[in-house]
Chains A and B, each alone.
Chain A
Amino acid sequence: GDSVTQMEGPVTLSEEAFLTINCTYTATGYPSLFWYVQYPGEGLQLLLKATKADDKGSNKGFEATYRKETTSFHLEKGSVQVSDSAVYFCALSAGSSNTGKLIFGQGTTLQVKP
């Protein structure tokens, strides 16, 4: 079945460092891909998404490109801030008729130190 695999955390970086969180997926068909972020004590928020191959999603300095040839959707940010500390989830939606049914990776905790 469909699945999402993320790099294990925690990822610890200093402020202004470059961030990459790897995400790969397996799916039949052409899924939409998402990154969600969960700040401490809060619910998940959509960070960015891409709905077809070669699309780039971007938001708040974060970017991810839908790579069909490598089945990947890696999250990147050029310069992280302490306020980016959170858990990041990669997810896919395989069904056009049930787009809220997402398959999530296990989450990657990011800790940014001043």
Chain B
Amino acid sequence: NAGVMQNPRHLVRRRGQEARLRCSPMKGHSHVYWYRQLPEEGLKFMVYLQKENIIDESGMPKERFSAEFPKEGPSILRIQQVVRGDSAAYFCASFAWSGTGELFFGEGSRLTVL
């Protein structure tokens, strides 16, 4: 009974490269949230997706960031042309409307931009 799986756990990129972070929700969950945690700060909402739909992207930076949750496969958070300020922990959480309403978080992906 696997929980929310995120990979990679740690990712190092140089400025200008692309970062791709993956999230597989819990079995039976079709809703995924992405949060970002900057150093010494709390988690900040980025985007909420259902399969094949972006429901709420009000927390996503306007440029360089995108997210998808295809019909098959994991949700992907993509950061193009990374900058040092993108260094953070990125957490994915999944949710089932028919369940308890609880968010289940993955262990996070820690991005370091050199």
Q: How far is the CB of B91 from chain A (nearest CB, A)?
A: 7
Given contacts A46-B102, A100-B31, A100-B48, contact A89 B42 (CB under 8 A): yes
Q: How far is the CB of B80 from chain A (nearest CB, A)?
A: 25
**How far apart sit A99 and B102, CA to CA, in the bound complex (Å)?**
9
Given contacts A98-B55, A98-B56, A101-B33, contact A43 B103 (CB under 8 A): no
Cβ-defined contact, A105 with B42, below 8 A: yes
Main DSSP-derived SS at the B contact region:
strand
Tell me the A59-114 residues at the B interface (CB within 8 Å): 89, 98-107
Given contacts A43-B4, A43-B91, A44-B91, contact A100 B103 (CB under 8 A): yes
Does B63 sit at the interface, judged by CB under 8 A? no
The 8 Å CB contact of A102, one of B41, B56, B103, is B103
Does B77 sit at the interface, judged by CB under 8 A? no
Q: Which residue of B lies closest to A101 (CB)?
A: B45
**How far apart sit A17 and B103, CA to CA, in the bound complex (Å)?**
30
**How far apart sit A41 and B10, CA to CA, in the bound complex (Å)?**
12
Interface residues of A, CB < 8 Å — how many? 20
Given contacts A44-B91, A89-B43, contact A101 B48 (CB under 8 A): yes
Residues of A at under 8 Å CB distance from B?
A: 4, 6, 36, 41-46, 89, 98-107
Residues of B at under 8 Å CB distance from A?
A: 3-4, 31, 33, 35, 40-45, 48, 55-56, 91, 93, 95, 101-103, 105-108
**How far apart sit A6 and B43, CA to CA, in the bound complex (Å)?**
13
Chain A residues in 8 Å Cβ range of B31: 100
**How far apart sit A99 and B100, CA to CA, in the bound complex (Å)?**
11
Chain B residues in 8 Å Cβ range of A101: 33, 45, 48, 56
Q: Which residue of B lies closest to A32 (CB)?
A: B101
Task: Show 30 residue pairs from A and B whose CB-CB distance is below 8 angstroms, ordered by the A residue.
Answer: A6-B42, A36-B105, A43-B3, A43-B4, A43-B106, A43-B107, A43-B108, A44-B43, A44-B93, A45-B105, A46-B103, A98-B55, A99-B95, A100-B31, A100-B33, A100-B48, A100-B93, A100-B95, A100-B103, A102-B35, A102-B43, A102-B45, A102-B103, A103-B45, A104-B42, A104-B43, A104-B44, A105-B42, A106-B41, A106-B42
